[in-house]
Amino acid sequence: MTQPPVPLRARIIANPSAAGGRDWGDALRAAAGRLAEHGWTVSWRYTEQTDHARALAATAAGEGVDVVVVAGGDGTVNEAVNGLVDTATALAVLPAGTGNVLAAQLGLIGIPTSLHRADLVAAAEALCAARVHAVDTGFAEVAGGRGRHFCLWAGIGLDAAVAQVLEGEGRELKRRLGPAAWGAVGLREALVARGSPATVDCDGRRITGRLLLGVVANVRLYGGAIDLNPDAVLDDGRLDVALFMGRSVWSKVRHLESVMRGRRGPSREWCGLTGARIAVDAEVPLPVHLDAEPFGTTPVAISVRPRSLRLMIPPTAPAGLLAASAGS
C-alpha cells in the first residue's frame, strides 16, 4: 500500500441524477472544499448520459490525473472502474448515490439506507488520509463477446431480475425509496422465481442444479449489509462464489433465513466456492448484473483481473479487507 503524493490532482465525476437536490450539491461542494484544504487540486465533470462516467474517467487517466473521485452510487462507480482499469489513476468514492455498497465496504458509511444521507465532508476527510492499493476486479463476458469489469460482484438469477426491474419500470421506485426498493421488488420477484437447471464451472469444478441465485463476489458485503462472503478480500487474485439452488417457496425461505443468520453450512441447496474463472450456463437464460447494473443473460464467463485497479483505501476500512499488509 502506498501513500499518494501531495498535492493530488483530483477529478470529481458527479452524477447529478444519483441523489439530486440543492442540499446534495451544497454537501458535495463542501466535500470538495475539504479536499482543497488538504492540498488537493480539484476539477469537476458531470455525467450527462449512461456510461458517461467511464469516458470521463478514461479521459482523466489519459491526462495524468492522480485520482478520480466518484460522487454517485455504485452504478456510476462501476462506469468509472471501466475507465480506470490498468491505468495509473486511482479511484476514490464519495457516497452520493442511492446505492453505496463500495463506500460501505470501505467504512465511509454504515448500512446504506434511504433514511439518512451520507456525511460527504466526513467522507472527504477520510479520503485525505487514504492510501492507494492495487485491488482486483472481476471481468464478465456474455454472448457476442461483450465484456465489462466489476468491482463488487456479479449476480446471476434472482437479484439480476430485481436489477432489471429497478433500472426499467421500477426506476421511479428506486429514486423514491433508495436501497429499500431492492427489498420491495426482491420480495415480489422471489415469489415468482423458479430458477433454471444450470451448470457452474469454477476452476474446473462443476456444480449442477436448479440455480435461483449465484453471486460472484470481490468483496464481503452484499447489498451493503449482508456479510455473504466473509473470506473475500480485494487483492487475493480470486473471486468468491455463493450458489443458491432450489425452486420451492421453502427453499427460498431457508436461503433467506441462512443468509440473515450467517448460517451457511453444508447443504444440497447452497454451495460456496472460490476461484479465478467461473462460467455459468443455464437451460433457461438467467439475467446477469454487474455491480447492480443489468448486463445481459447467461451464458456468462467471469474471470478475476488481479490488482488491475488502484483504489484509495481510507483508514475507516475494516481490518482484513486486503490480503497484503498495510506496509507493503
Amino acid 159: pLDDT: 85
CA distance 112 to 318: 16
User: Beta 226-227 vs 221-222: how paired, if at all?
Assistant: antiparallel
CA distance 216 to 295: 14
Taken in order of first residue, the domains within the chain and their CATH numbers are 9-129 (3.40.50.10330), 138-307 (2.60.200.40)
DSSP class of residue 183 equals H
Is residue 78 helix, strand or coil?
helix
Report how far apart, in Å, the C-alpha atoms of 182 and of each of 41, 98, 156, 254, 268 are. 37, 11, 15, 19, 27
Amino acid 185: pLDDT: 60
Amino acid 327: pLDDT: 39
Residue 272 identity (one-letter amino acid): G
Is residue 151 helix, strand or coil?
coil
Mean pLDDT per 10-residue segment, the chain (328 residues)? 79 82 78 96 95 97 98 94 98 90 91 68 96 98 92 92 72 60 59 82 95 93 76 94 73 55 58 94 95 94 98 94 64
Amino acid 228: pLDDT: 78
CA distance 89 to 202: 31
Amino acid 221: pLDDT: 84
